Amino acid sequence: MITTVGHDHRTEAEQTVQLFFDLHSDISAVSVYNGGLLRAEVTAGGKTAEAEYPAPDPADKKTFADCVKKSVFLACRKLSDMPAPWGISTGIRPAKIVRAMLDGGKTEAEALRFMTDKYWVEPDRAALSLAVAKRERELLAGLSPRAVSLYVGVPFCPTRCAYCSFVSQALTHNNKFMLPYVDACEREIFHTAALLEKSGRKPVSVYFGGGTPTALPPKQLRRLIEAVKSAFDMSAVTEFTVEAGRPDSFSREMCDMLAECGVTRISVNPQTMHQATLDAIGRRHSPEDVIRAFELARSSGLNCINADIIVGLPGETPSMVGETLDRLLPLGPEAVTVHTMYLKRAARMIGDFEKYRFAKNVNEMMALCRARLAAYGAEPYYMYKQKNTLGNLENVGFSLPGRECLYNIYIMEEIHTIVAMGAGASSKAVVGDRIERIFNPKEAGDYVNRIDEVLRRKDALAELL
């Protein structure tokens, strides 16, 4: 239970407690403002700790909110050994803060000091934010303010991973919605394209995500890809990404189809190259399948491949992460995204979450990845944070020069409008300084049944554009 007295910044207090504790456990926190002082009292595991921090005038809402966080942070630190490398920063886009400072004329040194002094971010994470922000600025130079990107969601997977919280269906169990889904999504694609043409905007990138788009049969996925290519003006598109992801969804026919359709980027996501771990997390493929997927993709002419790995998977050690890189990097991925293990309450593994959340060596795993990928020639180009990650760590995309996925930056940093289609898709219309969101139904069956409503929502998006 989180209680505030003398101020109404309960959300900030709660966000800070969540850095250290699961709010569904026996946790209570009280934040009290009394004149020029904020006092926090936190109780966890039968122990109580207090901390105080000077407070400005509550009228300065942003500074006051940060001071609420700092007082609660100091109290939680007395009760928990959970690392907090990002300090009181609870947002998901730390690089966006740094990039805004650089765009506003601040020096790199000033931006670093701002992160460490204002948000108590540790120096290595502040440096990571700066590195990502600088790369983003280079990649975003010259981007038209009227540009948009397209997202097409495919909510199907070969099987459901134990840590997954996405709304997706395993086609091994239920494929009755597959063909109706493709029909409905195709309708939305053509409807949306007509609206976008009227707005005078052109897409610059296309991203098929999910789920696992390649869980669809090649014929059905081709339908959706070709629908996009025929419906939209593709003259300004510089990248076309399909999140293939699961090595068990690869085939010669699939890879040849993707290449024939002009897909420029795909993913092959091992997560780990250890079979015992793959079995434990519900990935129905082997490390050898990962190698085979790379070989199939390369032989079909798909020459820009991203590979995802996860640090902090159950039972894994830093040496095991190193062994995963030993097997993965010789395959020559153009980009590698390193995720930190996290679980939401919809994940099947949530019952075991506490066993892994307080792992002491996840930071060591991430540091190992950064060092190895730097030696490989890949540098960080986008980054985001999530709640409930092991060690309060981040997810970072690394890329060889010129092989970055621009869509990842566009969606994460909210640079421009994302027009999203399909189940679970969320369109983000960047209108001046504000962002308007329009959501599609999450479940495939619900999306199919409500497709007429979905099309009406797209009409509302067109008005915003």
The model's pLDDT over 238-270, given as tens digits with 9 standing for 90+, comes to 999 999 988 989 999 999 999 999 999 999 999
Percent of the chain with pLDDT over 90: 76
Q: Is 18 helix (H, G, I), strand (E, B) or coil?
A: helix
Q: What's the confidence (pLDDT) of residue 168?
A: 52
d(CA 302, CA 452): 36
Q: What's the confidence (pLDDT) of residue 437?
A: 93
d(CA 110, CA 98): 10
User: 142 burial class (0-12, 13-18, 19+ CB within 10 angstroms)?
Assistant: exposed
Sorted by where each begins, the domain ranges of the chain are: 2-79, 94-140, 148-453
Contacts of 258-263 with CB under 8 Å at 24 or more apart are 258/214, 258/225, 258/300, 258/302, 259/300, 259/301, 259/302, 261/222, 261/225, 261/226, 261/229, 262/229, 263/225, 263/302
Q: What's the confidence (pLDDT) of residue 462?
A: 84
Q: What's the confidence (pLDDT) of residue 41?
A: 97
Listing DSSP states for 316-354 in one string gives --HHHHHHHHHHHGGG--SEEEEEEPB--TTSGGGGGHH
Other beta carbons within 10 angstroms of residue 252's beta carbon come to 11
Confidence band of 361 (pLDDT split at 50, 70, 90): confident
Q: What's the confidence (pLDDT) of residue 71?
A: 98
What is the fold of 2-79?
Double Stranded RNA Binding Domain (3.30.160)
d(CA 447, CA 426): 13
Does the structure show a pLDDT above 60 at 202?
yes
d(CA 325, CA 323): 5
Q: What's the confidence (pLDDT) of residue 113?
A: 97
Does the structure show a pLDDT above 70 at 79?
yes
User: 261 burial class (0-12, 13-18, 19+ CB within 10 angstroms)?
Assistant: middle
d(CA 367, CA 376): 14
393: number of CA atoms within 13 Å, CB side?
Answer: 26
Q: What's the confidence (pLDDT) of residue 356?
A: 45
d(CA 4, CA 67): 13
Structural element, H or E, at residue 229: helix 218-231
What separation, in Å, do the N-terminal and C-terminal C-alpha atoms of the chain show? 42
Whether 430 contacts 161, CB under 8 Å: no
Other beta carbons within 10 angstroms of residue 4's beta carbon come to 20
* The two structure tokens encoding residue 442: 């999450």
User: 253 burial class (0-12, 13-18, 19+ CB within 10 angstroms)?
Assistant: middle
Which residues, 6 or more positions from 262, have their beta carbon under 8 angstroms from its beta carbon? 229, 240
Q: What's the confidence (pLDDT) of residue 176?
A: 79
124-138 average pLDDT score: 97
d(CA 457, CA 50): 49
d(CA 128, CA 381): 10
CATH of domain 148-453: 3.80.30.20
Q: What's the confidence (pLDDT) of residue 283?
A: 84
Whether 419 contacts 150, CB under 8 Å: yes
Q: What is the mean pLDDT of the chain?
A: 91
